[in-house]
Amino acid sequence: MAEHVRIDKWLWHARFYRSRVKAQEAASSGLIRLNGVRVQKPSADVRPGDVVTLPRGCEILAVRIEEIVARRSSAAEGQRLYKILPEPS
């Protein structure tokens, strides 16, 4: 198991985007944050414990990375890669 991976690849593995190209576009757009800092490049490295904030429809979703995997798998396996964080009050 890898210790880190590119954010676009992780977003695709976790099934937040249907294709890696879409994940790359999202990472380049500046709409995604990694540990509170705006991501500018799809090559930004993520590790377990990092917090990724991204838009999902009309809400903002914050997730903590739980696991890094080498290959994309089923949707159920993709959901194991992260934990959704509660909204701050």
* Ordered DSSP codes for 5-24: EEHHHHHHHTTSSSSHHHHH
Q: 55 CB contacts (<8 Å, ≥6 apart)?
A: 31, 61
pLDDT, residue 1, reads 57
Beta-carbon contacts of 84 under 8 Å, excluding residues fewer than 6 positions away, are 61, 62, 63
Spatial distance between the Cα atoms of 81 and 64, rounded to a whole number of angstroms: 9
H/E stretch holding 34: strand 33-34
pLDDT in tens, the chain (89 residues): 569 999 999 999 999 999 999 999 999 999 999 999 999 999 999 999 999 999 988 999 999 999 999 999 999 999 999 999 997 65
Quote the pLDDT of residue 2: 67
Q: What is the pLDDT of residue 89?
A: 52
Asked whether residue 79 is assigned to any structural domain, the reply reads: yes
**The CATH number of the domain where 69 resides is what?**
3.10.290.10
Residue 89 forms part of a structural domain: no
State the residue range of the domain holding 24.
Answer: 5-84
pTM: 0.92
How many separate domains does the chain show?
1
Whether residue 46 lies inside any domain: the answer is: yes
